């Protein structure tokens, strides 16, 4: 199914409004978060009241303005269908819950098998990242580019940790990257980790398994900012999650080798399942 430019224009304008509204709710929640109820969805999987408030707001606004669009959110799930909004109301919830101001809201709009719009807002720093397929990526309205790094001894990568994959693979990849001469961080907010690749603050981000709400906006940002990524939608990542890799072109191969996550040459069409890739990362 294809979607025309006018339909995307309308959603882009609406997305800008949503970012402001969601940022206000999250910022207010963070300011009072010392008294907030924090619960655990599972091991190392935090949930605060603000997660639910932001997601409910976004879901209701989208349903009111674009009732024909589907919705998939981290907290409430949903039926995305062919055209949908994919939302992480607070990415980096563990940081949020511990008063660390490194968290964000991530919103992607997907149609025609591709991510058409991707936005990430860090409400504490007032940093708004926005990307539109084929039209570039920006931070607070200014175009952004991935870093031009080619020297591995100057790289700063980030690796997210997921307890949905064997710890040995994460440690093995970290080990290989450190031995290659890279610095590797973990900021505990995967969406911002990807945004930082897009604007050149970081040279690459990888995680052995991520959910679509954590990464779709960030993957589009990186590709539109001149970076390379691994496959995600073609591996069934929308509903089941998949490995994530995004990097500056000059050093992407090193990150790909260490993590065994392949690089993607063309667009990440849902229909374009790459069996070869699936075998390599199984």
Site of interaction with ligand LIP (CB under 6 A) = 74, 88, 91-94, 160-162, 188-190, 207, 210, 214
| Number of Cβ within a 10 Å radius of residue 106 | 32
What are φ and ψ of residue 2, in 5° steps?
A: -105, 160
- What minimum distance in Å lies between the beta carbon of 164 and ligand LIP? 8
CB nearer to ligand LIP: pick between 146 and 217: 217
Q: Going edge to edge, which strands form the sheet with 104-111?
A: 70-73, 83-91, 104-111, 114-122, 127-132, 136-139, 142-143
- Cβ distance 263 to 276 under 8 Å? no
- In whole angstroms, what separates CA 56 from the centre of its chain? 20
Instruction: Mark residue 200 as left, alpha or beta (left: phi above 0; alpha: psi -120 to 50; beta: remaining).
Output: left
CB nearer to ligand LIP: pick between 160 and 230: 160
- What minimum distance in Å lies between the beta carbon of 271 and ligand LIP? 26
CB nearer to ligand LIP: pick between 101 and 148: 101
Q: How far apart are the first and last CA of the chain?
A: 29
CB nearer to ligand LIP: pick between 8 and 72: 72
- Cβ distance 225 to 199 under 8 Å? yes
Strands 70-73, 136-139: pairing is unpaired
- What minimum distance in Å lies between the beta carbon of 274 and ligand LIP? 22
- What minimum distance in Å lies between the beta carbon of 107 and ligand LIP? 13
CB nearer to ligand LIP: pick between 118 and 160: 160
Distances 172 to 115, 185, 203, 280 between C-alpha atoms, Å = 31, 15, 19, 16
SS3 at position 31: helix
- What minimum distance in Å lies between the beta carbon of 190 and ligand LIP? 3
- What minimum distance in Å lies between the beta carbon of 79 and ligand LIP? 20
CB nearer to ligand LIP: pick between 94 and 260: 94
């Amino acid at each position: 199914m294809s979607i025309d430019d006018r339909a995307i224009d309308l959603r882009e304008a609406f997305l800008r409004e949503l970012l402001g509204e969601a940022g206000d709710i999250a910022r207010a929640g963070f300011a009072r978060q010392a008294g907030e109820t924090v619960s655990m969805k599972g091991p190392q999987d935090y949930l605060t009241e603000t997660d639910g408030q932001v997601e409910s707001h976004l879901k209701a606004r989208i349903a009111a303005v674009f009732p024909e669009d589907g919705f998939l959110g981290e907290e409430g799930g949903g039926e995305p269908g062919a055209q949908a909004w994919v939302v992480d109301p607070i990415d980096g919830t563990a940081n949020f819950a511990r008063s660390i101001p490194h968290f964000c809201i991530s919103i992607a709009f997907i149609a025609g098998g591709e991510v058409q719009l991707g936005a990430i807002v860090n409400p504490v720093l007032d940093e708004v990242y926005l990307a539109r397929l084929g039209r570039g990526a920006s931070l607070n309205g200014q175009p952004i580019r991935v870093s031009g790094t080619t020297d591995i001894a100057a790289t700063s990568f980030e690796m997210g940790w997921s307890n949905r994959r064997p710890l040995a693979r994460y440690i093995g990849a970290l080990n290989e990257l450190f031995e290659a001469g890279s610095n590797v961080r973990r900021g505990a907010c995967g969406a911002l980790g990807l945004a930082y690749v897009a604007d050149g603050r970081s040279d690459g981000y990888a995680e052995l398994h991520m959910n679509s709400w954590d990464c779709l906006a960030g993957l589009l940002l990186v590709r539109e900012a001149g970076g390379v990524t691994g496959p995600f939608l073609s591996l069934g990542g929308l509903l089941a999650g998949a490995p994530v890799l995004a990097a500056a072109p000059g050093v992407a191969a090193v990150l790909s080798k260490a993590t065994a996550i392949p690089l993607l040459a063309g667009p990440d069409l849902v229909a374009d399942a790459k069996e070869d890739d699936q075998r390599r990362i199984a």
